[in-house]
Amino acid sequence: MMEINTQPLVLSRDAAGEFLLPAEMLAARFNWPTQTLRDHMRRGLVSSRVERGVGEDDGRWRLSVRCGN
């Protein structure tokens, strides 16, 4: 069974406010070589979703990344 790292990530943002997530960092979270992640991205197998926290979570964000099905 693969252990998934659940430590929070600290991400930077670009001038437009978009989150920047280095491919190397994301690949490491999935225990993949960076090239595997890039191949999945090219094939359209990587999707992401950003959610803004409300209430108690105001000022926090959730970034979910799915790879494959």
Q: Is the pTM of this model over 0.75?
A: no
| 67 pLDDT tier (thresholds 50, 70, 90) | confident
Tens digits of per-residue pLDDT, 21-54?
A: 889 989 998 899 999 999 999 999 999 999 999 9
CA distances from residue 63 to 1, 2 in whole angstroms, order as listed: 24, 21
Note whether residue 27 is domain-resident: yes
Note whether residue 4 is domain-resident: no
Q: Which residues contact 46 (CB under 8 A, 6 or more apart)?
A: 37, 40, 65, 66, 67
Q: In the chain, how many domains are there?
A: 1
pLDDT score of 6:
64
Note whether residue 30 is domain-resident: yes
Domain that holds residue 34: 12-67
Note whether residue 2 is domain-resident: no
pLDDT score of 20:
87
Note whether residue 37 is domain-resident: yes
With a cut of 80, say whether residue 69 has pLDDT above it: no
